[in-house]
Structure 1
Amino acid sequence: MNVMQKPFIAKATINIGVGEGGEKLTRAEKLIETLVDQKPVRTYSKVTNPEFGIRKKQPIACKVTLRGEKADKIISMVLSGLENRIKASQFDKEGNVSFGIREHIDIPGVKYDPDIGIFGMDVSVTFQKPGHRIKERRLRPKKLPQAQRVTKEESMEYMKENFNVTIE
């Protein structure tokens, strides 16, 4: 296979949506920090929704973006908590995959801490191929050619080969 056609993991984003600020959000940030040894950033609401009790620009979640070996490590940890199974519908047409875990204590090696509690989390994995920079560069950015875009099938194959995932 052509080296420029091999997909790779550009980044993995872990998100814990709490829905409110305060103590609960602080505990979620502490959980992410203990899992990945990286400080998370807070995300803020974009609109006011009185039904959910959310105001605009109120902190409601936290996330962390991982790249390189850290991303591979955390993806394999979370997938082992899901018994290495993913549905085909969790892949989008650009080849990215998103999956969630209901309770963080399902991840092997993670123990329950009464100070933190139990949180679910969402993991989004973004795939790219070499040469993706032409789309994002400052000077003379170009449209990404069709051959350089990651397809759903390519990312499914990557997950099967590198993480021993069964796709249902």
Structure 2
Amino acid sequence: MICSVTPRLKQEYKDRVISALKEEFGYNNVMQVPKLEKIVLSRGVGAAVADKKLIDHAIDELSNITGQRAVATISKKDVASFKLRKGMPIGAKVTLRGERMYEFLDRLVTTALPRVRDFNGIKASGFDGRGNYNLGVTEQIIFPEIDIDKVNKISG
């Protein structure tokens, strides 16, 4: 028999957040309450134009952080000033949904963000007006899954 444990933040959302938002904003139905749909982590690797191994390192680091395989992002057009051709890998991304999304968010909030130097909370200016939030991280070493000794270059 397989026993799965509901992530802590997901349980908190179901138990307290939904009822609090319904009461505060006067929602009639549970389906009106905003919820997390997905978390997308992406990383641009501009130097990958010259060195293809950097993409593999970026994919490995994102995979270690999230627990899910990352994919390379491909350039859509030629940019002569960057020596970039259409179809070249220029970054990595991973999309988290469901249980992994809540587990990652929990680790981000409780473990990774407190390790950021001079962290004063997240800024409200990160919202785009459509319910999306954008958070930039300057160093990948804030995540405990990243081994500092194996990092080639510190980047976000």
Q: TM-score, normalised by structure 2?
A: 0.68
1:103 aligns with 2:139: yes
Indicate conservation of the 8 Å contact 1:104/1:118, yes or no: yes
**Which protein has greater RCO, CA pairs closer than 8 Å, 6+ apart?**
1
The superposition leaves residues 74-131 of structure 1 with CA deviations (integer Å, 9 ceiling, x where unpaired) of 22333443338211110111111010111111234543132554331xxxxxxxxxxx
Task: Give the gaps of 5 or more residues in structure 2.
Answer: 1-21, 23-28, 115-119
Which residue does the alignment assign to 2:113? Answer: 82
Superposition pairs of residues 30-41 of structure 1, within 5 angstroms: 30-41=60-71
Indicate conservation of the 8 Å contact 2:76/2:87, yes or no: yes
Moved more, 29-38 or 79-88: 79-88
- What is the Cα-based RMSD across aligned positions, in Å? 2.0
Structure ID, larger Rg? 2
CA distance in 2 between counterparts of 1:87 and 1:116 reads: 29
Superposition pairs of residues 1-168 of structure 1, within 5 angstroms: 1=22, 2-19=29-46, 20=48, 22-80=52-110, 81-83=112-114, 85-108=121-144, 110-114=146-150, 117-120=153-156
Task: Give the gaps of 5 or more residues in structure 1.
Answer: 121-168
Q: Which amino acid aligns with 2:113?
A: L
CA distance in 2 between counterparts of 1:15 and 1:113 reads: 22
Which residue does the alignment assign to 1:133? Answer: none
CA distance in 1 between counterparts of 2:134 and 2:151 reads: 28
Q: Could you say which structure has the higher helix fraction?
A: 2
